[in-house]
Structure 1
Amino acid sequence: MIMNTSSPNDLKVLPVRNAKQLSLFIRLPRLLYSHYANYTPPLDFQESSMLHPRKSAFFRYGIAQYFIAYKNNQPVGRISAQVDPNALRVWKEPIGLFGALDAIDDPIVVAELIKAASYWVQKQGMEKIRGPYTLNANSEIGTMVRGFDAPAMIAIPWHPEYLAGHIETAGLSKAMDVVSYQMQMGQEARDAHKIPSGMQMGTGRLGNITTRQLNMKEITRDGEILRQLYNDAWQGSWGFVPLTPTEMSFLIRDLKQMLRPEDYVLVEQNKMPVAVALVIPNVYDLIGDIGPTPSPLGWAKLGYRSVFHKFNSARVILLGISHAIRDTALGALMPSLVIAELFKRGEVLPYKMIELGWILETNTAMRNLIERITPEPCKIHRIFEKKL
């Protein structure tokens, strides 16, 4: 592919100011990347739930500004600039964020977009910019640097290979990589991760350890248990920002129709929650012939496939182990127990593959455990930053 290079005279980066521009901002990636064979556009309503100020949980507490780059009056890129007060409170640094960065293969376009975002967050009093986050640390994060030809996965951003290089050329450096792994759900994988009979939950020394599924009639309550346990588990980790009650309620809103009770793994010790995992079905399995903007027939197909759970893959989006047991023998064993439970659920659910994502590259304990089953990450996403 021949890289395009803009000149200052034919390139403009303008803020999004009205509903028409917002609509263009939301659907722009599929206009930019439609010619890439490995790109699968998400449903427009999914993107809107993340980015539209009236639909996104982020705008209940954070502020953001969207920008679109135009070359010869044609849209060629986009970026968001945002300030997350929850991140400021936890990180204790004046760090602004950027996200939703998508562009043609042109380093000047990417540089000008980052310049616009940097200037905006600097005006908000920030001294550093970090991203991509769409729109915060509890949503889509990072720029893809490995996995370009992997099948599309829900809530995992796809980018062309050139984008990370252009971000570095614009003066940002790597802050952290997050890695994803694919676990095949067949008998061979289950055997490779088999838990000895004396160490299974509910037996022997683990007789007081039980697990349960999602109670659909009490989904709000179970969501709050998940939120609190997740926040407790990851407190102090690099880049962590607590999941808010509002974010959890919006997550339930977006996922409720797709979830089954088996997608939720809650581990309890003497009826007290100590570990949790949430698996979400991969909506990309259902939309291959529907497209990003479904017709009435397309919506009917999507509804039918969702109701009858016609998914082949899924993703673990939240997994946490309580600090109360973190440094105990049970805490050391718990990740294995949770993954074993996921394999057990795989006998009931239709998933042939489950992806575990957003694992910090520095989380060697979790990576070593997963790499017993699948030795190499399927995807790597990079978070960048620079001082302003």
Structure 2
Amino acid sequence: MDAKVEATASGAVDVIPAKGLLNFLAFCRLPRQIYKGWKGFAPPLDAERWTLHAAKLNPHFKEVDWQAWIARKNGKPVGRIFAQIYKPSFPTPVGASKAQFGALDAIDDPAVVAALTQAAEQWLRERGAETIYGPFTPSVWGEAGLLVEGFEATPMVSVPWSPPYLGPALETLGYAKARDLISYRYDASERDRQPGPGILDRPEWRDRLKIRMIDLKKLGDEAAIIIDIFNDAWSENWAFVPLTHEEFMSAADGLKLIMPPEGGFIIELDGTPQAFGIAVPNLHEITADLGGRLLPLGLPRLISRIRNHKFNSARLLLFGIRRALQKKAAGGAVILAFIEEIRKRSARTSVTHVEFGWVLEDNIGMRRPIELSGAKIDKVHRIYEKNLAA
């Protein structure tokens, strides 16, 4: 579907489907072009964006029907968006609809945002959608939410960045808050680096709680455990859709290249895996100056930096604890063991800043122990909704 919306006196906004290789490449690199120089924004690598947005490379797109668009003004790309609707064979997101938008980026021009959202909304209406949620890029397990707080906070790998004007522009168009997603910053102190007794040393937990590293050489076997825990842990959370084995393994291929051996662990209670965590170094520390490009000199620089760089920051990419333990004392012990493990591992590395995110604003069971650890809210991302039938 093509759309044209009259903008300001400076020209019209043309919204065209992002079909074909050239438009796809333009879609992927657009954020780094329009947000260049903004404090808090770090350009992701183009090659990584290709794996995120390409239907042939990301298994998520097998679950949905979708369409992407680019907005142009005076012949220049000025915005982008995509819309998707989960196929009838795939479960409906918990508490939400199957109709979503994502990858919303635009210059500071309300007419551009209006043109993009109108294209996505009309496409979804034609497929029977009555409510739209987003942004999900491309899913709740990808880069979810529009940044509404923490615009100048440390940019973190796989965490979306948005300029301050996008949220108000959406709200002017009838979008309202559905949920907020919280990211916490934990700064390791000298106290954290001092050895001391923890919950694993207590008599009541010493023989019951065990923590082991994820075996990257047997990731196929470990994946079954991780996916089972993860889908059980999040199954009742808002907007949940199952994480498939194919999706996890697709991401795992990249994780094996950047995740250090101590970055993944499984927590066992009475011999049964009950929780897991996967943390990755913040690649923006070594890629920000590459401007998103790997060729011709970026790739050898990146390989050298991954091998030699001492990272100061990292992100907890995935975490899950079985639902049956989430409101029990044993679950609290597992979460405390997880936090203590993060502290111990940071003490053995150069990492001093860890980001925990995202956490649903109403997930008090997860937020409370994180806040008790001393972590502070660093970023807030918002999921918006709009009634398309109004």
TM-score, normalised on structure 1? Answer: 0.92
Match of 2:3 in 1: none
Match of 1:154 in 2: 157
Tell me which amino acid in the other structure corresponds to 2:68.
Y
Contact 2:179/2:361 (8 A) holds in 1: yes
Deviation of the 1:195 alpha carbon: 8.3
1:89-146 Cα shifts (integer Å, max 9, x gaps): 3437643110000001111211111111011112222211100000111100111011
CA change 1:209–1:333 in 2 (3 A) is: closer
CA change 1:264–1:35 in 2 (3 A) is: closer
Match of 1:27 in 2: 29
Cα distance in 2, alignment partners of residues 90 and 174 from structure 1:
17
- The structure 2 residue matched to 1:128, chosen from 131, 149, 161, is 131
Match of 2:70 in 1: 68
Unaligned regions of 5+ residues in structure 1, if any?
none
Deviation of the 1:189 alpha carbon: 4.7
Cα distance in 1, alignment partners of residues 313 and 79 from structure 2:
31
Cα distance in 2, alignment partners of residues 302 and 181 from structure 1:
28
Deviation of the 1:38 alpha carbon: 3.2
**What pairs with 1:1-388 in structure 2 (closer than 5 Å)?**
6=8, 10-85=12-87, 88-91=91-94, 94-189=97-192, 197=198, 199-200=199-200, 203-308=203-308, 310-374=310-374, 376-388=376-388
Tell me which amino acid in the other structure corresponds to 1:324.
A
Deviation of the 1:53 alpha carbon: 1.7
CA change 1:291–1:72 in 2 (3 A) is: closer
Give the share of equivalent positions with the same residue, in percent: 35
CA change 1:218–1:165 in 2 (3 A) is: same
CA change 1:195–1:15 in 2 (3 A) is: farther
Cα distance in 2, alignment partners of residues 89 and 95 from structure 1:
6
Greater shift in the superposed pair: 289-298 or 21-30: 289-298
Contact 2:96/2:239 (8 A) holds in 1: no
CA change 1:84–1:141 in 2 (3 A) is: same
Deviation of the 1:190 alpha carbon: 6.0
Cα distance in 1, alignment partners of residues 9 and 127 from structure 2:
29
Cα distance in 2, alignment partners of residues 89 and 28 from structure 1:
30
Contact 1:277/1:319 (8 A) holds in 2: yes
1:154-206 Cα shifts (integer Å, max 9, x gaps): 01011111111101111110000001011112323567xx9865x32685444
- SS of equivalent residue, structure 1 residue 280: strand
Greater shift in the superposed pair: 107-116 or 308-317: 308-317
Unaligned regions of 5+ residues in structure 2, if any?
1-6
Cα distance in 1, alignment partners of residues 62 and 304 from structure 2:
33
Cα distance in 2, alignment partners of residues 77 and 195 from structure 1:
52
Contact 2:83/2:120 (8 A) holds in 1: yes
Deviation of the 1:375 alpha carbon: 5.6
- SS of equivalent residue, structure 1 residue 371: helix
Cα distance in 1, alignment partners of residues 11 and 20 from structure 2:
25
Contact 1:195/1:337 (8 A) holds in 2: no
Contact 1:202/1:209 (8 A) holds in 2: no
Contact 2:132/2:387 (8 A) holds in 1: yes
CA change 1:293–1:55 in 2 (3 A) is: same
- SS of equivalent residue, structure 1 residue 30: helix
CA change 1:308–1:201 in 2 (3 A) is: farther
Deviation of the 1:13 alpha carbon: 1.2
TM-score, normalised on structure 2? Answer: 0.92
Tell me which amino acid in the other structure corresponds to 2:378.
C
Deviation of the 1:84 alpha carbon: 2.6
Task: Provide the aligned length of Structure 1 versus Structure 2.
Answer: 382
1:299-343 Cα shifts (integer Å, max 9, x gaps): 112112223453221111211111233333111222121111111
Tell me which amino acid in the other structure corresponds to 1:139.
G
Cα distance in 2, alignment partners of residues 224 and 183 from structure 1:
30
1:219-244 Cα shifts (integer Å, max 9, x gaps): 22222211110111111111111111
